[in-house]
Chain A
């Protein structure tokens, strides 16, 4: 069965510092991978996705994630965070069934 593990429940970081949010998954077949962001009292918004092709995917607001099949990881990175990046981030995996399996979430706290 699929599972997704986000290794850090909270990540505090100072503004303009780099950040990495870690995500590992378990699956025996090809997968699709997603990162979603949730701001307070809102629904989830798609941040970026890996479906196929280049293993490095980027979002429009400076985040990037790299699919590593051998390590079954899909870590999210940003070289310089802003206060506005404070939110909860969810990693999710799908095995072409249409169902998403989510990780437990990582709260990114950006401090001034």
Chain B
């Protein structure tokens, strides 16, 4: 039982390149989230999904897109990477609105 799996774990990009981060869960949770973590700022919500086929903007959505075509997967895309997007990205899932979130181990992304 893997829980929440993020791929890749590390990536270095050049400014302007694109990439997709994958989050896969085997817990059958409806809700999925993408956060970024930066020193001294805690975690900030980028986008989230309350079910298959749905997505919504979080606190810092600019420069990112997401898709939830299958219940178990939540993809985060960077169309044209910028140095300001250098961060650690975390995916999380939960049963519902009042329930704790379960986190993956993160993706460390550096943009040069």
Contacts and interface: CB of A to CB of B under 8 A. Distances in A.
Interface size bracket, B side:
20 to 34
B97 A90 contact: no
Contacts, number: 56
B98 A96 contact: yes
Given A103-B42, A104-B40, A104-B41, A98 B90 contact: no
Interface size bracket, A side:
20 to 34
A90 B42 contact: yes
Nearest to B30: A98
Contacts of A45: 103
Given A4-B42, A104-B42, 16 more contacts: A34-B100, A43-B90, A43-B106, A44-B92, A44-B103, A46-B102, A49-B100, A51-B98, A96-B98, A98-B48, A98-B96, A99-B33, A100-B45, A100-B101, A104-B41, A105-B40
Interface of A: 4, 9, 32, 34, 36, 41-46, 49, 51, 90, 94, 96-100, 102-105
Interface in B75-109: 90, 92, 94, 96-98, 100-106
A94 B94 CA distance: 12
